[in-house]
Structure 1
Amino acid sequence: MEDFSPSGGRHIYVPLAERLDGAAARELVEALALQAASLDPGPHQNITDGCIRVPGSLYKSGGYQVLITPLSAAYDIMSRRNPAVAVDRLREALAPELSRLRELRARMAKPAATISGSAALMPVSAGVEAPLRRIARTGLYDTARYKSPSEARMAVLNHFSACRWTLDQVRAGIAGQFPGLAALYGSDAKQGRLLETEWAKAVAWTQKDTPPSAGRKNAFINDTSQTLTTGGGINKPSRAAIHQLVNDLENILYAVLDYRMMKLGRESVGLRFLFRSLLGYMRAKETDLLDVGCRTLATALGKHHATIARLLPRLVRVSDGIITKVADARRRSADVYLIQLPAHLQQLTRELSWRKGKIHGIRNVFRALGAPAALVYEAIERGRRSPTNSDIIRATGISRSAVENALAEMSALKMIHRDGRQWHVTATTNLGQLAVRLGVMDDVQAQIRLYRHQRAAWHAYLDRFLEQAITETALYDTERDEHWLPPDEDAARYVWEVA
């Protein structure tokens, strides 16, 4: 049932068959507000002052609250109210938003602690939002920067394309939590006519491949660029050899290293995902020499860069010769690590078959759900057969209570489902869209911006000490005679006699 206010607002009435307390109603409305930006949760956020004008009420500036739904239909809606099962289905559909609300409340409930050093620079506020995401959500943009709605929406589309979104995800965002992007088009007809064309332009702009410049001898594009060699006796492994090596190392990880790192206490989960992240970068960069910086790894794992700097040497020691540090960090280059398969593990790799699927670090959705949930999901996703609870506990090395909590939470989010005693991954659930609904991407963007500023400050500091090349012509003064002419023989004889 719906009514209309003279100020332009609307009220939606959902009558319930059973009484719902104020706290539960507030939680549901706040979860809906996270999905619909134009919804005002204010009337449900307190008990004493949450009254609204019912249809027929006089408005303060003149006019009346008008019932839009026909009276007969409204009477039927009020007579046949929604049962408790419908409320449960609504709560199930809003599971990601409810989980996000609990996370926000937990952050606000934490006492403010005094943080010093570099850890104080890490943003933990959930209110941090990228400017382009705010434009997509509200439709409001800076007119000094964007002269028209066309430029503003192209900037938003370029941002989504750079984040590796697809056109279907953009359409789902327009229909969901980014209604401002739809407002920038002005009408549905204009959106339908221009969206695909403008998205193709955004993809072509942000994902184009830049050809290498002629005569370049190095590749210092960022902290993780690999230096180009000049040839000689270096035999670089082929792409097929690198992928085969990564497959073998994955088998070693699941068969040996995971069980060895389970015994290392609290840092064991961090070490296991750090090794997975290195294998992922190794496959992506197609090389066995990795110079990935701590901040890059911290962004991939959702951790602080100081934690990564502490875990890397520990991982080298427990990797059984797989990871070896071959060069220290210098200027803009990070530490260089060689990843190889030791001779004493080669026979084991021949006896194990490769696993299907792709290895990951911490995917964005598990920043909200936690690393134990990521291990449980990986055990279901990459298991050789659909696992039971006992299989997951043995494969992950996590306690039964932690595994059961992770399974219950992921099942509520429809990431997994149970068939008898066995667990399966729900293929229709998009983890990227789920991460957006959980509000994780704001924290990811904030961490990327922070590290970008820190790198820029470090590079500016290094540039102060660049040695200027001094040429021979720079040392010569054309106004000064710097050549000495020897005296003639008579003058030399006179000088000698005088002496």
Structure 2
Amino acid sequence: MLPATNRAGVSRGAFPKHSPAQVWAALAPILAGQPRVRLSRDAGRTYPQKHERVLTEALPTFPAAVRIFGKDGTCAAIFLDFDSSVAGVDWVEADVRAVQNWLHAVGARWIEDYSPNGGRHVYIPLEQRVTFSDARDLVEALGTRYRSLDKTPHQNLLHGCMRTPGSPHKRGGHQELAMSLSMAYDVARRPNSASIWAAMTTDLAGEIAAVRALRLEGTFTPATAETPRIQQRTGRMSRTMQLMAQTGLYDTNRYASDSDARQAILTGAAACGMELIEVERRMMQGTWPGLASFYARYASRHRAPALRRDWLEAVTYLSKNPGSKIEKNNARISPTSQPNTQPQGLKGNPTSSNPDAEHRFIRTWRNALRLREHTYTESRTGLARRMVLRALAEAAHMTASRFIEFGDRSIAVATGLDHTTVGSHLRTLRSEKDPLVTLVERGRGTKGDLYMLTVPEDVKTAAEDLTWRKGKIHALRPVFRELGLPAAFIYEALEHCPALTTAEIVKVTKLSRTAVSEALEVMAAWNMIARDTTRAWSVVATTSLKDLAEHFGVLEAVAAQLQRYRIERILWKEWLSKNVNTVAELLSPGEDYPWETFEGPPDEWALVDMAFTKAG
């Protein structure tokens, strides 16, 4: 049964009304490509991945968009979004009428709803799931016919999502069905057959060929194309291969088909030392939905054998071409110079000659940090300074010394902050009365500033009497670059003190109740923490933070930051070699001292300051 239409072709509104909660519960789980939904906490402007959670029948209180594609890179329905902001409501109405006529002509059944702002959504449920590439081609082909159709939801495998009937709208109200719920539910439960899909693609064959040809003319450029290329081989997959595996998008001038693209991904994975089971895990868990979509053309029982066959081909190719193997590269190598934990004047200091004594001092300093932490609770600035101090403690444990000479860029990588922001926080921390860190020696040339961890006198006795906290201290672990600093502090608190209630977490972390509640909700949605029958929170030990970071794409962002800093370090060394002059020059009485010719820039300067000053 087709949706009822009036003479003009637009669905009627004379039907029994149902509550948004009923509509959402009936249709959202069926239309979604996977049981995941993203919430918008900024009034519908964005639907970030960190606010993704399990899709349930309960109606969210925020604007909510379901994921279009599943972990296997396929979708269960085509989502057509007609945007009134593109050409106005009248144009949307005209396009929707034309789409309805086209769907009726090919024998398709559809569900339709409308937004409070005049936009419309058309959903075409499918009996057989279709791949990302096929769905994208069809929607892009329709986009050549209908101006108000927004093609972007079907152009992004990882982040493609859309509000379904019943979802709250950013302007108030909800997505309203343009048909009865019983009719919409019938369409969803009895979706369009494979023959209908074939009829749709056949009718759009010309437009599909055109959009594919247009894609062949252009070269796909990843978002990080401006990042400098690594000349030496590394022990990790390239950014391009990672993006192909995640998004399913590739340069059609380089790879003629999905088969060529997937073979390139597998070859890259094998070359960097991965095993087949690791690739399978990434595909099954949805970390690499793009690669999974390349195998969706096979029946379910044939996908695993096809993957193993391609993997063997990749391994065989690498064994015959040993020059293609990627060498190991330690990602832990800092972009700044290796730290000399003691200045020349302190090499004989007995406090730094005994690693065990140093670790004991660092743990006492960590107690002092716990006692002083309440002074760093104001806004995001305080949270950032707390994380910088944790990074210094972690660096001190790594080097077994209270003296730290890691550069700002190393600390920036460890904290997820910009290196100029790190420098600003360090200057503020060392200028405090009775500070936790003391500047021992300013950096010169390739040497960073030398800092020393200091136990303030006002908390020294209490810090020495306080029991040391077990376990490691962490700077910002990669996954929390996506989830935020509050989540990092809460997770740390639960690691040290399991089974805390929300009120106890607020007290321990010194965070606001709102920030704690939001962070707990986000982490619970990703199964990082769980609540027991006593309403106490604990860490879920089986959830891998590394896997989540990879799922969010954070590891690639860290790698890009490391590479950018490595290049900046090289440029800085080149500048030093060309401009630092050790021969003394006698200046005239009225001449300013040209410090930039003889020594490094001021502490607050960045490379851009030097570049623009030199150019000026």
Q: TM-score, normalised by structure 2?
A: 0.50
Deviations 1:51-90 (A, max 9, x none): 8899999xxxxxxxx9889xxxxxxxxxxxxxxxxxxxxx
Question: What is residue 422 of structure 1 aligned with on the other side?
Answer: 536
Alignment partner of 1:205 is 2:241:
no
Q: CA RMSD in A?
A: 5.0
Change over 3 Å in CA distance of 1:234–1:418 after alignment to 2: same
Q: Secondary structure of 2:360's partner?
A: helix
> CA shift at 1:425, angstroms?
0.6
Question: What is residue 282 of structure 2 aligned with on the other side?
Answer: 173
**Matching residue's letter, 1:172:** R
1:94-493 to structure 2, matched below 5 A, reads 127-128=223-224, 130-137=239-246, 138=248, 153=266, 155-156=268-269, 170-175=279-284, 176-178=286-288, 187-189=307-309, 191=311, 205-207=328-330, 222-226=336-340, 233-235=348-350, 236-254=352-370, 256-262=371-377, 264-318=378-432, 320-341=434-455, 345-383=459-497, 385-419=498-532, 420-465=534-579
Q: Secondary structure of 2:579's partner?
A: coil
Question: What is residue 18 of structure 1 aligned with on the other side?
Answer: 26
Question: What is residue 31 of structure 1 aligned with on the other side?
Answer: 67
The higher-RCO structure (CA 8 Å, 6+ apart) is 1
Change over 3 Å in CA distance of 1:56–1:148 after alignment to 2: closer
Measure the CA separation in 2 of the matches of 1:190 and 1:297: 41
Measure the CA separation in 2 of the matches of 1:446 and 1:221: 12
Change over 3 Å in CA distance of 1:410–1:99 after alignment to 2: farther
Measure the CA separation in 2 of the matches of 1:25 and 1:174: 15
Instruction: Assess if the C-alpha contact under 8 Å between 2:31 and 2:77 holds in 1.
Output: no
**Matching residue's letter, 2:386:** R
Deviations 1:171-199 (A, max 9, x none): 4224433367798997414637987xx99
Measure the CA separation in 2 of the matches of 1:171 and 1:42: 25
Q: TM-score, normalised by structure 1?
A: 0.60
Measure the CA separation in 1 of the matches of 2:67 and 2:128: 26
Alignment partner of 1:43 is 2:78:
yes
Q: Secondary structure of 2:243's partner?
A: helix
Question: What is residue 496 of structure 1 aligned with on the other side?
Answer: none
**Matching residue's letter, 1:366:** F
Q: Percent identity?
A: 25
Q: Secondary structure of 1:188's partner?
A: helix
Instruction: Assess if the C-alpha contact under 8 Å between 1:327 and 1:337 holds in 2.
Output: yes
Structure with greater helix share of residues: 1
Q: Secondary structure of 1:18's partner?
A: helix
Instruction: Assess if the C-alpha contact under 8 Å between 2:250 and 2:261 holds in 1.
Output: no
Change over 3 Å in CA distance of 1:99–1:375 after alignment to 2: farther
> CA shift at 1:457, angstroms?
2.5
> CA shift at 1:414, angstroms?
1.2
Change over 3 Å in CA distance of 1:312–1:158 after alignment to 2: farther
Which runs of 5 or more structure 1 residues have no equivalent in the other structure? 1-15, 58-65, 70-96, 103-108, 110-124, 211-219, 470-499
> CA shift at 1:140, angstroms?
5.9
> CA shift at 1:435, angstroms?
2.1
Deviations 1:241-274 (A, max 9, x none): 23222222222222x1112222x55421111111
Deviations 1:12-34 (A, max 9, x none): xxxx9823499978986973548
Measure the CA separation in 2 of the matches of 1:440 and 1:208: 14
Change over 3 Å in CA distance of 1:238–1:192 after alignment to 2: farther
Larger radius of gyration: 1
> CA shift at 1:225, angstroms?
3.3
Instruction: Assess if the C-alpha contact under 8 Å between 1:322 and 1:341 holds in 2.
Output: yes
Change over 3 Å in CA distance of 1:131–1:159 after alignment to 2: farther
> CA shift at 1:297, angstroms?
1.6
The more displaced of 416-425 and 371-380 is 371-380
> CA shift at 1:380, angstroms?
1.5
Structure with greater strand share of residues: 2
Q: Secondary structure of 1:46's partner?
A: strand
Measure the CA separation in 2 of the matches of 1:159 and 1:467: 43
Question: What is residue 491 of structure 1 aligned with on the other side?
Answer: none
The more displaced of 240-249 and 167-176 is 167-176
Measure the CA separation in 2 of the matches of 1:390 and 1:334: 42
The more displaced of 460-469 and 320-329 is 460-469
Question: What is residue 55 of structure 2 aligned with on the other side?
Answer: none
Q: Secondary structure of 1:134's partner?
A: helix
> CA shift at 1:276, angstroms?
0.6
Tell me the matched-pair count. Answer: 377
